[in-house]
Amino acid sequence: MVSEITHELKLHKIGIYEHATEEEKQTLDDLQVDSFIKYYKSYQHSVNDPEGFWAQIAETFTWRKKWDKIVEYDWETPKFEWFKGAKLNITENCLDRHLDKRGDDLAIIWEPNDPNEANRTFTYRELHAEVSKFSNVLKNNGVEKGDRVCVYMPMVPELAIAVLACARIGAVHSVVFAGFSSVALSTRINDAECKVILTTDGVYRGSKAVDLKGIVDEALESTPSIETSIVLNRINANITMKAGRDIWWHEELAKVSDICPAEEMDAEDMLFILYTSGSTGKPKGMVHTCAGYMIHTAYSFKNVFQYKHGDVYFCTADIGWITGHSYIVYGPLAAGATTLMFEGIPSYPDYGRFWEIVEKHQVNQFYTAPTAIRALAAQPNELIDKHDISSIKVLGTVGEPINEEAWHWYDEKIGKQKSPIVDTWWQTETGGIMISPLAGVTPTKPTFATRPLPGIQPCLVNENGEELNTNPAEGRLCVKYPWPSMARTIYGDHNRYKETYFTAFSGKYFTGDGSFRDLEGNYRITGRVDDVVIVSGHNLGTAPIENVINEHSNVVESAIVGYPHDIKGNALYAYVIVYETPENDDFLRHEINDLIARTIGPIAKLDKIQFVPGLPKTRSGKIMRRILRKIAENETSNLGDISTLLNPDVVQAIMDGSLVK
């Protein structure tokens, strides 16, 4: 570790782009932001001298050639380039560079769906060999740098290996969550014109085995670009292998060596495409590039979770989402961490499964979503109490605003009030965490994502695009300086990228979220601003009203949409899930409206309240308001594609006015 003074000098040197020598080289550990004063200093540094700040972090990585320029950008085109001129391979940073010191440390711990099946582990050395082998399999099958490879696999270690193998040879992976339908899959394959698809014969989900290969076969009927499908045998299913197209994973592996030099990539070469649903139209293929993505995911992982060498980190997401890309695979591995992958679901064999895993593998950092937290909170306490979860040091949440009740439950029951909660706000588009406490460093505040990470410059603007510079403030959340892991384009549609993110407010990235900033500068994400409803000329965000409804002791969850109203323009329609069927529906409706009137004001009172058995949700847990809006408007003839929903059958139940699914 270099001394404080050399360190300061170094910053200055980096400002004029002199690179650190091997001797001066620091590690991410040396740069760990482990006190609030360090956070404050790093943040100031990152605003005053963004290039010097990022250069210092970038110096800790392994490069084939270092950059000529840290950042070059133009909000108009828009075009963002980070570490221009640099050459690297992200897998040399995730694997090769750890071999000397950490070759025998665990890189991946894999926990299967069935707790009685043996878990599997991979040291960095083993993972390096497996990734090299599969890289050779891809090469043998004609995959070249720049080719797109679709990965449609359940949470088995081979999924992580496949993703890294693509990166090693410079192929662009497009992971599609293995719960998506064949239509959703073929749309994504065709958009990216993938040449190869990687899949498995099937997948275990709780007590069910799902025929994944059947879904792939259906999708491949309309995907002309696919030449080969490589199939992993996971469940010994009785499947048909199409001659000339389908080949077995294990047979291909038997033909290759475990040595595969990494392809030299340009900092701005495409690393992957990941689809995210837009509020309208077809899914957006967000494009992430090599160097900037690597640097921000590793740095944010290390600091948000305060990961220390030897810790076991468990993120419950699926690699099919950005959370899995950035915080199961790339971030943790680039930081040399031990990352736990779980194949199953939180309720199998019972709702204590997460806690069983925590105990079994002595998990130190646990990262999940508010939806899961609420589902777990509704279960009996014994399911937690029968496990020793005292290894937990840090709790994380991501994906949607966490309500106060769920936050406190998480803090008390799981964190035992000694494990800081990091409420991490970010998006598929941002690539990595943007606003979040650093565990144990930043004071937390229930329901607040708190402060921007060093290097991230969020701001709030009003409808006219004017930046709000005083606190407290409430407005639309934007980012006013580029950051390394931002998506560079929408695959095949740069114009949509520009329109969606850079047109509403010039010179800024618009997130689509609304946010409140308190007196101290803590950010609270209030929800998508596209879910705003104008009632009698008043701007009403649905999220804050839902939060109030959810405070009622008999309410599990709720969703509000607007529907046309003769006098008010729009009125509010609420779909409410209750714990216990009320004896008198109208009495409960009255209580809810009373609560809203008292907390927000009579203007926010609901015109209609329907009690429902569930809410239609996307696989990532987002309520599909589009569908609820149509039901509220009585326009149910054209609900659009509901097959990608987590719970498509709830839609019919809501239309029937039924309280049971």
Task: Summarize as ranges the residues that interact with ligand WT7 (CB under 6 A).
Answer: 276, 322-323, 398-401, 423-428, 449, 511-513, 525, 528, 620
Tell me the C-alpha distance between 33 and 222, whole Å.
Answer: 50
Output the CA–CA distances (angstroms, integers) from residue 93 to 77, 132, 287, 315, 331, in the order listed: 31, 14, 20, 21, 10
Looking at beta carbons only, is 283 or 614 nearer to ligand WT7?
A: 283
Q: What are phi and psi of 338, to 5 degrees?
A: -100, 115
Question: Smallest distance from the beta carbon of 491 to ligand WT7, in angstroms?
Answer: 15
Residue that is written with structure tokens 């294990």 in the block: 250
Looking at beta carbons only, is 170 or 399 nearer to ligand WT7?
A: 399
Cis peptide bond upstream of 349, omega within 30: yes
DSSP 205: E
Question: Smallest distance from the beta carbon of 518 to ligand WT7, in angstroms?
Answer: 15
Question: Smallest distance from the beta carbon of 155 to ligand WT7, in angstroms?
Answer: 16
Packing angle, helices 585-599 and 542-551, rounded to 10:
120
Q: How many CB atoms lie within 10 A of CB 656?
A: 9
Nearest to 379 by CA among 579, 140, 185: 579
Looking at beta carbons only, is 228 or 515 nearer to ligand WT7?
A: 515
Residue 73 burial (C-beta neighbours within 10 Å; 0-12, 13-18, 19+): middle
Question: Smallest distance from the beta carbon of 421 to ligand WT7, in angstroms?
Answer: 10
Looking at beta carbons only, is 276 or 347 nearer to ligand WT7?
A: 276
Q: What are phi and psi of 270, to 5 degrees?
A: -65, 135
Question: Smallest distance from the beta carbon of 326 to ligand WT7, in angstroms?
Answer: 8
Looking at beta carbons only, is 93 or 323 nearer to ligand WT7?
A: 323
Looking at beta carbons only, is 58 or 377 nearer to ligand WT7?
A: 377
Q: Residue 476 forms beta bridges with which residues?
A: 461, 514
Looking at beta carbons only, is 155 or 609 nearer to ligand WT7?
A: 155
Q: Is 265 helix (H, G, I), strand (E, B) or coil?
A: strand
Contact (CB, 8 A) for 90 and 77 = no
Question: Smallest distance from the beta carbon of 619 to ligand WT7, in angstroms?
Answer: 10
Looking at beta carbons only, is 153 or 525 nearer to ligand WT7?
A: 525
Question: Smallest distance from the beta carbon of 151 to ligand WT7, in angstroms?
Answer: 18
Terminal-to-terminal C-alpha distance of the chain: 60
Question: Smallest distance from the beta carbon of 265 to ligand WT7, in angstroms?
Answer: 25
H/E element, 517: strand 509-517
276-291 per-residue burial string, b: 16 or more CB within 10 A, e: under 16: bbeeeeebbbbbbbbb
Looking at beta carbons only, is 10 or 296 nearer to ligand WT7?
A: 296
Question: Smallest distance from the beta carbon of 383 to ligand WT7, in angstroms?
Answer: 25
Question: Smallest distance from the beta carbon of 467 to ligand WT7, in angstroms?
Answer: 20
Q: Is 386 helix (H, G, I), strand (E, B) or coil?
A: coil
Nearest to 618 by CA among 650, 655, 578: 650
Looking at beta carbons only, is 119 or 457 nearer to ligand WT7?
A: 457
Contact (CB, 8 A) for 325 and 319 = yes
Question: Smallest distance from the beta carbon of 476 to ligand WT7, in angstroms?
Answer: 12
Looking at beta carbons only, is 285 or 399 nearer to ligand WT7?
A: 399
Looking at beta carbons only, is 200 or 323 nearer to ligand WT7?
A: 323
Question: Smallest distance from the beta carbon of 24 to ligand WT7, in angstroms?
Answer: 35
Q: What are phi and psi of 602, to 5 degrees?
A: -60, -25
Question: Smallest distance from the beta carbon of 503 to ligand WT7, in angstroms?
Answer: 17
Contact (CB, 8 A) for 442 and 424 = no
Q: Which ranges of 416-552 does DSSP label H, i.e. alpha helix?
A: 494-497, 542-551
Residue 375 burial (C-beta neighbours within 10 Å; 0-12, 13-18, 19+): middle
Looking at beta carbons only, is 344 or 541 nearer to ligand WT7?
A: 541
Q: How many CB atoms lie within 10 A of CB 234?
A: 23
Looking at beta carbons only, is 136 or 558 nearer to ligand WT7?
A: 558
Question: Smallest distance from the beta carbon of 29 to ligand WT7, in angstroms?
Answer: 26
Tell me the C-alpha distance between 293 and 90, whole Å.
Answer: 9
Output the CA–CA distances (angstroms, integers) from residue 456 to 30, 52, 262, 483, 488, in the order listed: 20, 14, 31, 6, 16
Looking at beta carbons only, is 269 or 531 nearer to ligand WT7?
A: 531
Question: Smallest distance from the beta carbon of 276 to ligand WT7, in angstroms?
Answer: 5
Long-range contacts of 501-506 (CB under 8 A, 24+ apart): 501/78, 501/429, 502/75, 502/78, 504/465, 504/476, 505/461, 505/465, 505/476, 505/478, 506/75, 506/465
